[in-house]
Amino acid sequence: MYSMRSIGSVKSPYSKTRNIPKGLGAKHEAEGVLEILPEFEAGLTDIEGFSHLFVLWLFDCSQGFALLGTPPSDNRPHGVFATRSPRRPNPIGLTVVELLRRDGPRLHVRAVDTLDGTPILDIKPYLSSVAPEQLRRGWLAEAEARKGQG
Residues near its own copies (CB under 8 A): 1-7, 36, 40, 42-52, 54, 56, 58, 60, 67-68, 77-84, 88-90, 92, 94, 96, 119, 121-132, 134-142
Q: How far apart are CA 88 and CA 85, in angstroms?
A: 7
- On whether the CB atoms of residues 30 and 110 are closer than 8 A, the answer is yes
Comparing CB distances to its own copies, the nearer of 96 and 116 is 96
**Smallest gap, in angstroms, from Cβ of residue 15 to its own copies?**
22
Comparing CB distances to its own copies, the nearer of 12 and 36 is 36
**Smallest gap, in angstroms, from Cβ of residue 17 to its own copies?**
19
**Smallest gap, in angstroms, from Cβ of residue 105 to its own copies?**
11
**Smallest gap, in angstroms, from Cβ of residue 131 to its own copies?**
7
CA distances in angstroms from 119 to 21, 46, 55, 64, 131, listed in the order given: 20, 22, 10, 17, 31
What residues contact residue 24 under an 8 Å CB cut-off, 6+ apart?
73, 143, 144, 147
Comparing CB distances to its own copies, the nearer of 2 and 148 is 2
Q: How far apart are CA 60 and CA 72, in angstroms?
A: 20
